[in-house]
Amino acid sequence: MGLTSQSTGRSTTREIFNIKRNNNEPVIALAGNPNTGKSTLFNALTGLRQHTGNWPGKTVLRAEGSFIHNGRRYTLIDLPGTYSLLANSADEEVARDFICFAKPDATVVVVDATCLERNLNLVLQVMEITSKVIVCVNLIDEARRKKLRVDADKLSKKLGVPVITTAARSGEGLPRLMDVISDVVWGRLTPKPKLVRYTGEVEEAIARLEPKVRAAVGDGINARWVALRLLDGDTKLVQAMEKFLSEKEIVRVAQEVLA
């Protein structure tokens, strides 16, 4: 049983998030831990073409802007800074729901070049939801001052997604970042995330559950990721799916798993 095009259509879902675009311009999500320079990057890309407000039904601040690259306009959504997408806070819930249900055309995950290990946890979580991921290693100037070297090519091979180094305050790397965003959005570059593999027991449980999830929600949501969250007992995700999707079959699947 699959979802209807009306219930899974990106334009319909984006209207729930109050994403209003002209000429169907691509929507780019900007995610990242706090203190990675994400807001500085957002400001550098959008300049004066931005506005702020609150996310629908939340007190969480929302920033939306746009940038123009090679004659095309892109909508940029600055998601709340989070360390995780497990939805243990309103900020995490907003970030998770937008990436999962609004299905941005690309998601840029901003990480701090001086503390990559801590930031990569979020990258791995985002890659479980969507393949259209770009890692932006920001604050590369700070890393150089600390005598730290980031091998972007090697990191890209390890993750299976494009990795771009930037220093948003000075504008370093931003033209290259926009090039890669454009390439991912228009299909000239296809990221192939290398997902975390779990123990044999967990992978076996995922293999049993994933087909049931896919039958319930179709291809609109990453079935493997939903299966993982259900196995983790994530009732908040089920509530979000009831909110954003008009399909009740997933509730039955979830009840079987969470019982």
The pairs formed by 187-190 with CB atoms below 8 angstroms and a separation of 24 or more are 189/162, 190/131
Expressed as residue numbers, the domain containing 43 is 9-185
Number of domain units in the chain? 2
What are residue 146's phi and psi, to 5 degrees? -95, 10
Write down the pLDDT at residue 249: 61
**For the segment 168-187, what is each residue's pLDDT rounded down to a tens digit?**
999 999 999 999 999 999 99
Residue 59 shares a structural domain with residue 105: yes
Residue 130: inside a domain: yes
Residue 124 shares a structural domain with residue 220: no
pLDDT of 73 over the 50 cut: yes
Residue 180 shares a structural domain with residue 204: no
Residue 191: inside a domain: no
Residue 195: inside a domain: no
Write down the pLDDT at residue 2: 31
Say which residues have a Cβ less than 8 Å from residue 210's Cβ, sequence separation at least 6: 223, 224, 227
pTM equals: 0.89
Residue 28 shares a structural domain with residue 66: yes
Residue 72: inside a domain: yes
DSSP string, 193-239: -------HHHHHHHHHHHHHHHHHHTTSS-HHHHHHHHHTT-HHHHH
Of 20 and 202, the structure prediction assigns the larger pLDDT to 202
Report, as an integer, the average pLDDT of 152-175.
98
Q: Tell me the C-alpha distance between 100 and 196, whole Å.
A: 18
In this structure, the number of other CB atoms found within 10 A of the CB of residue 33 comes to 21
> Among all chains, which residue has been given the structure tokens 């076996």?
204
Chain centroid to CA 177: 16
Residue 146 shares a structural domain with residue 243: no
Best CA proximity match to 37, nearest among 181, 185, 174: 174
Percent of residues, the chain, with pLDDT higher than 70: 87
Write down the pLDDT at residue 22: 67
pLDDT of 7 over the 50 cut: no
Best CA proximity match to 2, nearest among 240, 214, 209: 214
**For the segment 33-44, what is each residue's pLDDT rounded down to a tens digit?**
999 999 999 999
Write down the pLDDT at residue 14: 62
Residue 204 shares a structural domain with residue 169: no
Local structure of 69: helix, strand or coil:
strand
Residue 19 shares a structural domain with residue 109: yes
